[in-house]
Amino acid sequence: MVHQNEWLGTSWIMLTDIVGTSVLTFAGVARQLGWVLTVGFIVGLAPVAIYTAVLMSRTSDLLAKVQQGSRPSSMGEAARMTGGDKAAAVVYAMVYGFAFLGQSSYILVLGQCLQGILFESQLCLPLATAISCILCLPTAASVRHLADSVFLCLLNLVIIMAVLSIVMGKMYLDGRPSQVSTFAFAEGLSFWTVFGAASNVVYSYTGHWIYFELMVEMKKPEQFPRVFLLNAPLQVCLYLLVACWGYYFAGDKAEGYFLDNLPDGEAYRWASILLFAHVAIAFLIKNVVLARALHKLVSPRRVDVGWSEPGGGRAQLEFIGCAVLLLVACWAVSNSIPFFSDLLALIGSLLSGPISFLFPMAFLAGAAQLSRKESRRLIGGWHGQARHVLE
């Protein structure tokens, strides 16, 4: 548990998941959309993301009252409480399937970072991703609770800021090339161009799938909305800075992957080193959630057993097995599908919006209905007692 200022610790965890690799695509997004649509999407989606996150907090509070203090520990559990087992099965499949594919994409990014660090060696991507998995394994197998990663998350925010500073600093020192052009609305705009670029912005605001897990680990879950006092302004300002800076200096030549705007050299190497550390920590955060979910499925009685408790050694070994299995599966998926990045972009476009913006509304509606039923039941019980006394 995070004890004092726990909402602040939760903020660092959320920023690690949300302000991740998606921010590195914003220069390319601006190239595809132009100034007006880029700024409009970044600013306009922020209040939507905050609103739906607050709905999840209200859902958690309502269900805690109806279920005698029991809060949903995941979107799947929220679906089970509000819609039954069938709804839970669908939500579990969508949310954890989407998260698993996101983990697989992180493996690809880690491999690309390792290739950037060793750019002279021409390391092939399957080998680079395999080495990355081995490097991530010790931490992935040892951290079992999100609250144990607060310091890492704070460090991770500093790391991504350093990565962005290196790239933006190099772009500033090199200056804006004379042939670069920028537009209020990008040339050749089409529905599919706007849809694809906007999906990257939507994805950058969709950390909702992990919010119930964060709330259930808080000592005071009702304080969860406070995290947006820090997250919202920092997130929006950072997104705008990266998008506008990258578009101004690179314009219609901006690359979709921010580090690709750097030539091979020491700046590129150090940016790749720092980005590798950042993505590894972001991978760890999601791995904790997925490995715990798998551990709960395999051995529900030992998922919360600590190392020093009876059966703790076996519980830790089970968790390690789950973490290793996930790493191997992520590596296999990311390297076995030739168009995996495109497939992930499509799935992200189709699933990230519903999971983060529609599911919270459905959960709140279901929780409100349960609350009304409970109120009617209590009122009916009081009326029955009153009649009995009068008779």
For residue 242, what is the domain's CATH number? 1.10.4160.10
**Within a 10 A sphere around the Cβ of 142, how many other Cβ atoms?**
14
User: Domain for residue 313, yes or no?
Assistant: yes
Strands (E), the chain: none
CB 340 within 8 A of CB 35: no
The span from the CA of 209 to the CA of 333, in Å, is 21
The span from the CA of 167 to the CA of 265, in Å, is 12
User: Domain for residue 177, yes or no?
Assistant: yes
Q: Which two tokens stand for residue 285?
A: 């955060």
CB 147 within 8 A of CB 2: yes
User: Domain for residue 104, yes or no?
Assistant: yes
Note down the domain range covering 307. Answer: 6-385
How many folded domains does the chain comprise? Answer: 1
User: Domain for residue 390, yes or no?
Assistant: no
- Whether residue 302 is predicted with pLDDT greater than 70 in this model: the reply is yes
pLDDT in tens, 230-287: 778 888 888 899 899 989 988 888 777 677 777 777 877 888 888 888 888 878 878 8
The model's pTM: 0.78
Which residues sit opposite 218 in a β-bridge?
2
Model confidence at 7, pLDDT cuts 50, 70, 90, reads low
Range with the largest mean pLDDT of 82-91, 151-160, 302-311: 82-91
Model confidence at 3, pLDDT cuts 50, 70, 90, reads very low
Q: Which residues contact 130 (CB under 8 A, 6 or more apart)?
A: 331
- Describe the chain by its helix, strand, coil percentages, rounded to 5: 80, 0, 20
What SS3 string covers 103-165? HHHHHHHHHHHHHHHCCCCCCCHHHHHHHHHHHHHHHHHHCCCHHHHHHHHHHHHHHHHHHHH
The span from the CA of 48 to the CA of 46, in Å, is 5
Coil, helix or strand at residue 2: strand
Distances (CA, A) of 172 to 237, 246, 261, 264: 19, 10, 12, 17
Q: Which amino acid is at 211?
A: Y
Coil, helix or strand at residue 299: coil
User: Domain for residue 65, yes or no?
Assistant: yes
Q: Which residues contact 262 (CB under 8 A, 6 or more apart)?
A: 167, 170, 268, 271
pLDDT in tens, 108-129: 888 888 888 887 787 888 899 9
User: Domain for residue 1, yes or no?
Assistant: no
What was the pLDDT predicted at 150? 57
pLDDT in tens, 11-63: 555 555 555 567 777 888 899 899 999 999 999 999 999 999 999 999 999 99
Distances (CA, A) of 81 to 59, 71, 76, 334, 365: 11, 9, 9, 34, 12
Mean pLDDT of 205-232: 82
pLDDT in tens, 80-89: 999 999 999 9
Distances (CA, A) of 377 to 71, 127, 231, 382: 21, 61, 40, 9
User: Domain for residue 13, yes or no?
Assistant: yes
- Whether residue 360 is predicted with pLDDT greater than 80 in this model: the reply is yes
Q: Which two tokens stand for residue 277?
A: 């550390």
User: Domain for residue 391, yes or no?
Assistant: no
